[in-house]
Structures are given as structure tokens and as C-alpha cells.
Amino acid sequence: MIHVERPELLVDHVNAVVTSPTQIIVDDAMIDAFTEISRDPQWIHSSAAKPRTVPGNLLIALVPRLLRECVVVDRYSRCLTVKYENIRFKKPVVSGDTLGLAATIVDVRTRFGATFVTVSINLINQANGDEVVQAVVTDCYEAEELGT
């Protein structure tokens, strides 16, 4: 884990590789909740599918949760994910798989009171070490207000 007081200090950690301290089990209940919200009609995500494949958008939705465990910033007013790019679904994930995250900070830029942190991520299937999703994520940390 990388832990800094302010986001601009992440510049000292460019090229650092970190892994999430916890993992997430993607179970049927999580898939059911996600497909209910997304109204995803694909049969491979239904409970009748054997094996039941996890929706790719659910995998992407897990990234911020795991990334916040890898890179911890104490002082900022708010953080917004502003870009996902180069998303690659490399291997299927099925119900019951356990996922962790490996992240590499690739760029840190500060402009107009905001710090943009770009991270290359890999979701990893903990059972076999397979990379299942790759992406590049950019978060924008807005500066903490004066006096706070």
C-alpha cells in the first residue's frame, strides 16, 4: 500500500507496484444485484448458466474499491474517476472467483489545484494468478479547501 498525506506526493511513487491487501469474492448474490440494476439480459450472467460468467462491467465497478486500498491519500476535498482507457478483458471470471488488484502509478500531474493520478491496474484471479482485466484509470483529486 502507498499512503501519502496529499495527492501531489504520489509523484514520488511513479512506477511503484502495489497490491490490494484484501480480495473480493464475486458470488451469485453480487452478480444478481448487479444484473438487476444493469438489466443485463445476457444468458451467460444468469443463474442458469454453468459456469456463471461475471459481467465485465461488474468487474470494472470493483476497481475503485480495490484501488482505494492500494493508494491511500489523506487530504483532498474530493476524488473523481475521470477516465478509464485501454480496458482489456483477458480471461473470464466465474461466480465464486476471488479477485485482487495490482496497480502501478504511471503518471501524476497537478494543474489548477487538481492532481491527476494515472494508474495501470490488473485484476487478478487469486485461485490461479491469472490477469483477468487490465485497464488504465485516471483519478482527479481536487485540492483541499484552505482552512480545512
Q: Indicate if the pLDDT at residue 143 is higher than 80.
A: yes
Share of the chain above pLDDT 90, in %: 86
Which pTM does this prediction carry? 0.88
Peptide bond connecting 51 to the previous residue in cis, omega within 30 degrees of 0: yes
Q: Are 133 and 86 in contact (CB under 8 A)?
A: no
Predicted pLDDT of residue 145: 66
Q: Which three cell numbers stand for residue 142?
A: 481536487
Q: Indicate if the pLDDT at residue 146 is higher than 60.
A: no
CA 43 to CA 27: how far, in whole Å?
A: 17
Q: Which amino acid is at 68?
A: R
How do residues 43-81 score in pLDDT, each as one tens digit?
888 888 899 899 999 999 999 999 999 999 999 999 999
How do residues 10-41 score in pLDDT, each as one tens digit?
999 999 999 999 999 999 999 999 999 998 87
Predicted pLDDT of residue 148: 46
How do the domains of the chain map onto residue ranges? 2-142
Which CATH code fits 2-142?
3.10.129.10
